[in-house]
Amino acid sequence: MHIHHISRQNSVLNTFLSEIRDVHTQKDPLRFRKNIERIGEILGYEMSKTLNFQKSTTKTPLGNSSVQLISENLVLCSILRAGIPLHNGLLNYFDRAENAFISAYRQHDEDSNTFKILVEYLACPDLNGKTLVLADPMLATGQSLVSTFEALKPYGIPKKTNIVSIIGSKKGVAFVNDYFDKNTDLWIAAIDNDLNEKGYIVPGLGDAGDLAFGEKLQQ
Ligand code: URA
C-alpha cells in the first residue's frame, strides 16, 4: 500500500485539521462538518493527480479547448454515519461518481475493552473494473475498513482501491497496510501515535460521528 501522509507538507489543510481537533471549535457542529468536507475536497484533489486521464475537447463560444479529463469510473463508499461529511467533500469534486453506503458499527463487549464490527446495511453498485474510493474519517484500528472491503466483495472486483481518511492511528495504518495489496493507496491527512483502551485515536479528536451529528445513546 502506498501511504500519502498529506499534512507532512504545510498547507491550508493544517487550519482545518486544527479546527476539527480543537475542543472549543468542536462546539460548532456546522463548522466541524464543513471542515471535514473541506478536508475531503483536499484529499480528493490530491488523489485526483494519480487517476487516469484522457484527451478531450471542450467547445467554447470562441473555439475548441483541448483538455485532459478523468477517464476512470469512481465509486465512493462511506461508512455511516461519521463518513457522511467526508463523503460530501469527495462528491463535491467527483460529482459524477457512483456511491455506496455501508453501516458498520462497533459492538463493545461490556466485560472487556474489546469490540466487534457489525455490518448491517449495504447499498452498492457494480464494482467490476471501477476505482473504489473507501472513505473512513477515523482510521483507528482499521477493522471497519477491512470489514467494509470484505462486505463489498460480492459486488465485483475494482481495478484499484483508494482509501481516504482524515486521522489515523499508527496501529490502524499498519493494520490496513498489512491487509491491502500494493495497488492500494491511502490518502490521509494526519497519523497520530496512540489508540486508547476504547479504540479511540489519541490525540485524535474524539467521536467524529457525535461531533458531526450529536451524541448517540450507547448500546
Ligand atoms: N471513531 C471516532 O470517531 N474517533 C476515534 O478516535 C476512533 C473511531
pLDDT, tens digit, 9 for 90 and up, residues 126-148: 999 999 999 999 999 999 999 99
Q: Is 35 part of a structural domain of the chain? A: yes
pTM of this prediction? 0.94
101: in domain: yes
3 state SS of 11? coil
Closest Cα to atom 4 of ligand 1: 207
Q: Write out pLDDT tens, residues 1-13.
A: 999 999 999 999 9
Polymer length in residues for the chain: 219
H or E segment to which residue 195 belongs = strand 194-195
Residues touching ligand 1 (Cβ under 6 Å) are: 82, 138, 140, 200-201, 204, 207-209
Ligand 1 atom nearest 199 alpha carbon: 7
Query: Which cell goes with 218?
Result: 450507547
Total domain count for the chain?
Answer: 1
> Percent of the chain scored above 70 by pLDDT?
99
What does the pLDDT read at residue 105?
74
One-letter amino acid of 79: I
Of 27, 66, 40, 73, the residue nearest 165 (C-alpha): 40
**Under 8 Å between Cβ of 138 and 167:** yes
Distance 211 CA to ligand 1 centre (A): 10
127 assigned to some structural domain: yes
Range of the domain at 141: 2-51+71-213
Look at residue 146 and tell me if it is in a domain: yes
Tens digit of each residue's pLDDT (9 = 90 or more) over 173-205 = 999 999 999 999 999 999 999 999 999 999 999
Residue 63 lies in a domain: no
Does residue 37 sit within a domain? Answer: yes
Identify the CATH number of the domain in which residue 43 sits: 3.40.50.2020
5 grid coordinates: 501522509
The answer to whether residue 65 sits within a structural domain is no
Mean pLDDT for the chain overall = 95
Q: Is residue 139 part of a domain?
A: yes
